[in-house]
Amino acid sequence: MTSAFIFSDDTILCHQTSDGWWPLPVQYSKSDVDLNNDAYPQAYQIGHVALLESLALIHWQTTASTDHSDVDIRPTFTAQASSAMSYDYAVAHHVALPPVNESSGNTFVPYRQLILQLPVALSNQLSQAIQLLRWQTDTRFCSRCATPVIHARNAERAMVCPACQLHQYPRVQPCIITAITRPNPQTGETQILLAHHHRHGQQKQPPLYGLIAGFVEVGESLEHAVVREVAEEVNITLTDIRYISSQPWPFPTNLMLGFRATYAGGDIIIQEDELAHADFFDLSNLPKIPSKGSIAYELIAQILTEQGFEA
Protein backbone atom coordinates (compact mmCIF):
# COMPACT_ATOMS: atom_id res chain seq x y z
CA MET A 1 0.00 0.00 0.00
CA THR A 2 1.07 3.52 -0.66
CA SER A 3 -0.60 6.87 -0.27
CA ALA A 4 -1.58 9.78 -2.43
CA PHE A 5 -2.98 13.24 -2.06
CA ILE A 6 -6.20 13.74 -3.98
CA PHE A 7 -6.64 16.94 -6.00
CA SER A 8 -9.37 18.67 -7.87
CA ASP A 9 -7.64 21.52 -9.72
CA ASP A 10 -5.95 23.67 -7.07
CA THR A 11 -7.92 22.15 -4.19
CA ILE A 12 -6.77 19.25 -2.01
CA LEU A 13 -8.84 16.66 -0.16
CA CYS A 14 -8.45 17.59 3.50
CA HIS A 15 -9.69 16.43 6.86
CA GLN A 16 -10.90 18.84 9.53
CA THR A 17 -8.80 18.64 12.70
CA SER A 18 -9.05 20.71 15.84
CA ASP A 19 -6.21 22.82 14.43
CA GLY A 20 -7.58 23.33 10.95
CA TRP A 21 -7.60 21.57 7.61
CA TRP A 22 -4.96 18.92 6.87
CA PRO A 23 -4.32 17.02 3.62
CA LEU A 24 -5.71 13.52 3.80
CA PRO A 25 -3.41 10.89 2.24
CA VAL A 26 -5.53 8.18 0.63
CA GLN A 27 -4.22 4.62 0.76
CA TYR A 28 -4.23 2.60 -2.44
CA SER A 29 -2.55 -0.54 -3.68
CA LYS A 30 0.08 -0.08 -6.35
CA SER A 31 -1.75 -2.48 -8.63
CA ASP A 32 -4.72 -0.06 -8.68
CA VAL A 33 -2.60 2.57 -10.32
CA ASP A 34 0.20 1.35 -12.55
CA LEU A 35 1.90 4.20 -14.34
CA ASN A 36 3.97 1.89 -16.53
CA ASN A 37 0.95 0.20 -18.01
CA ASP A 38 0.77 1.55 -21.56
CA ALA A 39 -2.55 -0.20 -22.08
CA TYR A 40 -4.41 2.55 -20.21
CA PRO A 41 -6.94 4.44 -22.24
CA GLN A 42 -5.50 7.87 -22.97
CA ALA A 43 -7.91 9.71 -20.71
CA TYR A 44 -6.80 7.67 -17.72
CA GLN A 45 -3.19 8.71 -18.16
CA ILE A 46 -4.03 12.17 -16.93
CA GLY A 47 -3.96 12.61 -13.24
CA HIS A 48 -1.40 10.53 -11.35
CA VAL A 49 2.05 11.82 -10.47
CA ALA A 50 4.93 10.69 -8.29
CA LEU A 51 6.22 13.33 -5.90
CA LEU A 52 9.74 13.94 -4.68
CA GLU A 53 10.10 11.89 -1.53
CA SER A 54 12.78 14.28 -0.37
CA LEU A 55 10.15 17.01 -0.15
CA ALA A 56 8.03 14.93 2.20
CA LEU A 57 7.76 15.97 5.80
CA ILE A 58 9.77 13.11 7.25
CA HIS A 59 12.93 14.31 5.53
CA TRP A 60 12.55 17.83 6.81
CA GLN A 61 10.99 17.48 10.20
CA THR A 62 14.07 18.39 12.19
CA THR A 63 15.05 21.36 10.07
CA ALA A 64 11.73 22.62 8.75
CA SER A 65 11.97 26.37 9.26
CA THR A 66 8.38 27.17 10.00
CA ASP A 67 6.63 28.95 12.78
CA HIS A 68 4.22 26.05 12.96
CA SER A 69 6.84 23.48 13.95
CA ASP A 70 5.73 23.59 17.56
CA VAL A 71 2.04 23.26 16.78
CA ASP A 72 0.78 19.91 17.97
CA ILE A 73 -1.03 18.87 14.82
CA ARG A 74 1.77 16.97 13.15
CA PRO A 75 0.82 13.65 14.80
CA THR A 76 -2.45 13.80 12.90
CA PHE A 77 -0.44 13.76 9.69
CA THR A 78 1.39 10.45 9.72
CA ALA A 79 1.61 9.34 6.11
CA GLN A 80 4.40 10.61 3.89
CA ALA A 81 2.44 10.69 0.69
CA SER A 82 4.73 10.17 -2.25
CA SER A 83 2.20 10.59 -4.99
CA ALA A 84 -0.84 12.56 -5.96
CA MET A 85 -3.79 11.98 -8.25
CA SER A 86 -6.76 13.90 -9.48
CA TYR A 87 -10.17 13.05 -8.08
CA ASP A 88 -11.41 11.98 -11.52
CA TYR A 89 -8.41 9.72 -11.97
CA ALA A 90 -8.98 8.09 -8.57
CA VAL A 91 -12.63 7.48 -9.40
CA ALA A 92 -11.74 6.05 -12.82
CA HIS A 93 -9.29 3.63 -11.18
CA HIS A 94 -11.68 2.61 -8.41
CA VAL A 95 -9.38 3.88 -5.69
CA ALA A 96 -11.28 3.68 -2.40
CA LEU A 97 -11.90 7.31 -1.44
CA PRO A 98 -13.08 8.56 1.93
CA PRO A 99 -16.53 10.17 1.94
CA VAL A 100 -16.48 13.85 1.00
CA ASN A 101 -19.27 15.67 2.79
CA GLU A 102 -19.89 17.87 5.78
CA SER A 103 -20.53 15.10 8.29
CA SER A 104 -17.31 13.25 7.35
CA GLY A 105 -15.08 16.24 8.12
CA ASN A 106 -13.51 15.82 4.68
CA THR A 107 -13.63 18.41 1.96
CA PHE A 108 -11.59 19.96 -0.84
CA VAL A 109 -9.70 23.02 0.39
CA PRO A 110 -7.90 25.56 -1.86
CA TYR A 111 -4.11 25.41 -1.68
CA ARG A 112 -3.97 29.20 -1.20
CA GLN A 113 -5.83 28.70 2.07
CA LEU A 114 -3.72 25.75 3.27
CA ILE A 115 -0.37 27.41 2.64
CA LEU A 116 -0.96 29.66 5.64
CA GLN A 117 -0.91 26.77 8.09
CA LEU A 118 1.19 23.94 6.67
CA PRO A 119 4.88 23.12 7.27
CA VAL A 120 7.06 24.23 4.37
CA ALA A 121 7.99 20.70 3.26
CA LEU A 122 4.39 19.57 3.04
CA SER A 123 3.33 22.79 1.38
CA ASN A 124 6.05 22.39 -1.25
CA GLN A 125 5.03 18.80 -1.94
CA LEU A 126 1.44 19.92 -2.54
CA SER A 127 2.72 22.73 -4.73
CA GLN A 128 4.68 20.20 -6.78
CA ALA A 129 1.59 18.00 -7.11
CA ILE A 130 -0.56 20.87 -8.39
CA GLN A 131 2.04 21.81 -10.99
CA LEU A 132 2.66 18.23 -12.19
CA LEU A 133 -1.02 17.38 -12.46
CA ARG A 134 -1.67 20.55 -14.41
CA TRP A 135 1.37 19.84 -16.61
CA GLN A 136 -0.05 16.40 -17.45
CA THR A 137 -3.42 17.90 -18.25
CA ASP A 138 -1.87 20.57 -20.45
CA THR A 139 0.71 18.37 -22.18
CA ARG A 140 -1.21 15.83 -24.20
CA PHE A 141 0.09 16.55 -27.68
CA CYS A 142 3.48 17.24 -29.21
CA SER A 143 3.88 21.00 -29.56
CA ARG A 144 5.97 20.46 -32.71
CA CYS A 145 3.93 17.92 -34.69
CA ALA A 146 0.66 17.54 -32.71
CA THR A 147 0.97 13.76 -32.20
CA PRO A 148 -0.47 12.54 -28.84
CA VAL A 149 2.44 12.23 -26.37
CA ILE A 150 3.31 9.39 -23.99
CA HIS A 151 5.19 9.27 -20.69
CA ALA A 152 8.97 8.87 -20.97
CA ARG A 153 9.92 5.22 -20.48
CA ASN A 154 12.67 5.66 -17.92
CA ALA A 155 12.08 7.52 -14.69
CA GLU A 156 12.53 10.78 -16.57
CA ARG A 157 9.75 13.28 -15.93
CA ALA A 158 8.89 14.10 -19.50
CA MET A 159 6.20 13.66 -22.10
CA VAL A 160 7.64 12.23 -25.29
CA CYS A 161 6.36 12.41 -28.84
CA PRO A 162 6.40 8.90 -30.36
CA ALA A 163 6.64 10.40 -33.87
CA CYS A 164 9.37 13.05 -33.63
CA GLN A 165 10.83 12.26 -30.16
CA LEU A 166 10.40 15.81 -28.86
CA HIS A 167 10.65 15.75 -25.05
CA GLN A 168 8.41 18.15 -23.14
CA TYR A 169 9.36 18.81 -19.52
CA PRO A 170 7.42 20.52 -16.72
CA ARG A 171 8.08 24.23 -16.98
CA VAL A 172 9.22 26.46 -14.15
CA GLN A 173 8.88 30.22 -14.59
CA PRO A 174 11.47 32.16 -12.59
CA CYS A 175 10.03 35.29 -11.07
CA ILE A 176 11.98 37.80 -8.98
CA ILE A 177 10.52 39.65 -6.00
CA THR A 178 12.47 42.40 -4.26
CA ALA A 179 12.33 44.13 -0.89
CA ILE A 180 13.94 47.59 -1.25
CA THR A 181 14.93 49.61 1.80
CA ARG A 182 16.34 53.06 2.55
CA PRO A 183 16.63 55.31 5.61
CA ASN A 184 13.79 57.85 5.96
CA PRO A 185 15.37 61.10 4.64
CA GLN A 186 13.98 63.04 7.63
CA THR A 187 14.16 60.65 10.58
CA GLY A 188 16.63 57.97 9.52
CA GLU A 189 14.13 55.22 10.31
CA THR A 190 14.33 52.25 7.93
CA GLN A 191 11.70 52.40 5.18
CA ILE A 192 10.59 49.75 2.72
CA LEU A 193 9.20 50.24 -0.78
CA LEU A 194 5.69 48.82 -1.13
CA ALA A 195 3.31 48.98 -4.06
CA HIS A 196 -0.43 48.59 -4.45
CA HIS A 197 -1.10 46.60 -7.62
CA HIS A 198 -4.22 46.95 -9.72
CA ARG A 199 -4.57 43.16 -9.56
CA HIS A 200 -5.00 43.38 -5.77
CA GLY A 201 -8.27 45.18 -6.38
CA GLN A 202 -9.24 48.81 -5.80
CA GLN A 203 -12.34 48.13 -3.75
CA LYS A 204 -10.83 46.14 -0.89
CA GLN A 205 -10.16 48.21 2.23
CA PRO A 206 -7.59 48.62 3.53
CA PRO A 207 -5.63 48.27 0.27
CA LEU A 208 -3.00 45.54 0.13
CA TYR A 209 0.60 46.60 -0.50
CA GLY A 210 3.21 44.16 -1.83
CA LEU A 211 6.74 44.08 -3.18
CA ILE A 212 7.94 44.71 -6.72
CA ALA A 213 7.94 41.43 -8.65
CA GLY A 214 8.10 40.19 -12.21
CA PHE A 215 9.10 37.41 -14.55
CA VAL A 216 12.68 36.85 -15.63
CA GLU A 217 13.06 37.45 -19.36
CA VAL A 218 14.86 35.15 -21.77
CA GLY A 219 18.58 35.93 -21.79
CA GLU A 220 18.53 37.78 -18.48
CA SER A 221 20.35 37.14 -15.19
CA LEU A 222 18.32 37.25 -11.97
CA GLU A 223 20.13 40.41 -10.87
CA HIS A 224 19.35 42.08 -14.17
CA ALA A 225 15.70 41.12 -13.82
CA VAL A 226 15.60 42.80 -10.38
CA VAL A 227 17.12 46.02 -11.73
CA ARG A 228 14.90 46.06 -14.83
CA GLU A 229 11.61 45.30 -13.06
CA VAL A 230 12.23 47.95 -10.40
CA ALA A 231 13.22 50.53 -13.03
CA GLU A 232 10.12 49.69 -15.12
CA GLU A 233 7.63 49.70 -12.27
CA VAL A 234 8.87 52.52 -10.02
CA ASN A 235 11.74 54.21 -11.92
CA ILE A 236 14.36 53.96 -9.16
CA THR A 237 17.89 52.54 -9.14
CA LEU A 238 19.33 50.00 -6.72
CA THR A 239 22.54 48.99 -5.05
CA ASP A 240 23.58 46.07 -2.85
CA ILE A 241 21.28 43.51 -4.55
CA ARG A 242 21.37 40.17 -2.78
CA TYR A 243 19.50 36.89 -3.00
CA ILE A 244 17.64 35.77 0.14
CA SER A 245 15.45 32.72 -0.51
CA SER A 246 12.97 31.13 -2.90
CA GLN A 247 9.49 29.67 -2.93
CA PRO A 248 7.66 27.52 -5.48
CA TRP A 249 4.34 29.16 -6.22
CA PRO A 250 1.99 27.05 -8.33
CA PHE A 251 -0.11 29.88 -9.83
CA PRO A 252 0.60 28.72 -12.43
CA THR A 253 4.22 27.44 -12.29
CA ASN A 254 6.32 30.18 -10.74
CA LEU A 255 9.51 29.90 -8.78
CA MET A 256 9.63 33.06 -6.70
CA LEU A 257 13.23 34.24 -6.11
CA GLY A 258 13.38 36.65 -3.20
CA PHE A 259 15.93 39.49 -3.18
CA ARG A 260 16.77 42.44 -1.02
CA ALA A 261 18.29 45.67 -2.28
CA THR A 262 19.08 49.18 -1.15
CA TYR A 263 17.64 52.29 -2.79
CA ALA A 264 20.33 54.12 -4.78
CA GLY A 265 18.51 57.02 -6.44
CA GLY A 266 15.67 58.38 -8.56
CA ASP A 267 12.13 59.61 -7.89
CA ILE A 268 9.30 57.10 -7.78
CA ILE A 269 7.28 57.18 -11.01
CA ILE A 270 4.83 54.28 -11.10
CA GLN A 271 4.03 52.18 -14.14
CA GLU A 272 0.37 53.07 -14.23
CA ASP A 273 -0.95 50.05 -16.07
CA GLU A 274 0.37 47.77 -13.28
CA LEU A 275 0.45 49.88 -10.13
CA ALA A 276 -2.07 52.16 -8.44
CA HIS A 277 0.41 53.55 -5.88
CA ALA A 278 3.92 52.95 -4.55
CA ASP A 279 5.97 54.60 -1.83
CA PHE A 280 8.53 54.09 0.90
CA PHE A 281 6.81 53.29 4.21
CA ASP A 282 8.31 53.56 7.70
CA LEU A 283 8.55 50.12 9.31
CA SER A 284 6.61 51.54 12.28
CA ASN A 285 3.69 52.47 10.02
CA LEU A 286 3.20 49.78 7.37
CA PRO A 287 0.00 49.37 5.35
CA LYS A 288 -1.67 45.96 4.97
CA ILE A 289 0.97 43.52 3.63
CA PRO A 290 0.70 40.01 2.05
CA SER A 291 -0.24 37.05 4.25
CA LYS A 292 2.07 34.78 6.13
CA GLY A 293 3.15 31.87 3.95
CA SER A 294 4.04 34.10 1.01
CA ILE A 295 7.66 34.97 0.25
CA ALA A 296 6.68 38.66 0.23
CA TYR A 297 5.67 38.35 3.86
CA GLU A 298 8.89 36.48 4.72
CA LEU A 299 11.09 39.18 3.15
CA ILE A 300 9.23 42.01 4.89
CA ALA A 301 9.21 40.10 8.20
CA GLN A 302 12.97 39.55 7.99
CA ILE A 303 13.53 43.31 7.73
CA LEU A 304 11.09 44.06 10.54
CA THR A 305 12.82 41.57 12.84
CA GLU A 306 16.28 42.95 12.02
CA GLN A 307 15.12 46.45 12.94
CA GLY A 308 13.56 45.33 16.23
CA PHE A 309 9.93 45.40 15.16
CA GLU A 310 7.48 42.57 15.67
CA ALA A 311 6.75 40.74 12.42
Residues of this chain, 158-187, that bind Zn ion according to CB under 5 A? 161, 163-164, 166
Q: Which residues of 238-272 are buried (b: 16+ CB within 10 A; e: fewer)?
A: beebeeeeebbbbeebbebbbbbbebeeeebebee
* Binding characters for Zn ion, 83-122, by CB under 5 A (x = yes): ----------------------------------------
CA angle 30, 36, 39 (to 5 degrees): 105
Q: Binding to Zn ion by residue 140, rule CB under 5 A?
A: no
Specify the amino acid at residue 110: P
Specify the amino acid at residue 28: Y
Of 166 and 311, which has the nearer Cβ to Zn ion?
166
Closest of 293, 16, 3, 4 to residue 133, by C-alpha: 4
Of 156 and 306, which has the nearer Cβ to Zn ion?
156
Out of 43, 52, 96, 145, point to the residue binding Zn ion (CB under 5 A): 145
The least distance separating Zn ion from the CB of residue 46, rounded to whole angstroms, comes to 19
| DSSP state letters, 142-160 | -TTT-PBPEE-SSS---EE
The least distance separating Zn ion from the CB of residue 158, rounded to whole angstroms, comes to 13
The stretch near Zn ion (CB under 5 A) out of 124-132, 136-144, 270-278, 280-288 is 136-144
Closest of 223, 211, 207 to residue 180, by C-alpha: 211
Out of 57, 142, 208, 289, point to the residue binding Zn ion (CB under 5 A): 142
The least distance separating Zn ion from the CB of residue 162, rounded to whole angstroms, comes to 8
Number of residues that bind Zn ion (CB under 5 A): 8
In a 3-state reduction of DSSP, which class is residue 45?
A: helix
The least distance separating Zn ion from the CB of residue 290, rounded to whole angstroms, comes to 41
* Binding characters for Zn ion, 32-71, by CB under 5 A (x = yes): ----------------------------------------
Of 142 and 236, which has the nearer Cβ to Zn ion?
142
Of 165 and 205, which has the nearer Cβ to Zn ion?
165
Would you say 212 and 177 are in contact if contact means Cβ atoms under 8 Å apart?
A: yes
Q: Binding to Zn ion by residue 149, rule CB under 5 A?
A: no
Of 30 and 144, which has the nearer Cβ to Zn ion?
144
Of 150 and 231, which has the nearer Cβ to Zn ion?
150
Of 144 and 198, which has the nearer Cβ to Zn ion?
144
Q: How many CB atoms lie within 10 A of CB 82?
A: 17
Helices of type H across 146-290:
222-234
The residues, any chain, with a CB within 8 Å of residue 179's CB and separated by 6 or more, are 192, 193, 211, 244, 258, 259, 260, 261, 299, 300, 302, 303
DSSP run (H or E) holding 130? helix 120-138
Of 166 and 303, which has the nearer Cβ to Zn ion?
166
Q: Binding to Zn ion by residue 144, rule CB under 5 A?
A: yes
The stretch near Zn ion (CB under 5 A) out of 82-90, 156-164, 207-215, 265-273 is 156-164
- CA end-to-end distance (rounded Å), the chain: 43
Beta strands at 2-8 and 11-17: parallel, antiparallel or unpaired: antiparallel
Task: Provide the binding-site residues for Zn ion, judged by CB under 5 A.
Answer: 142, 144-145, 147, 161, 163-164, 166
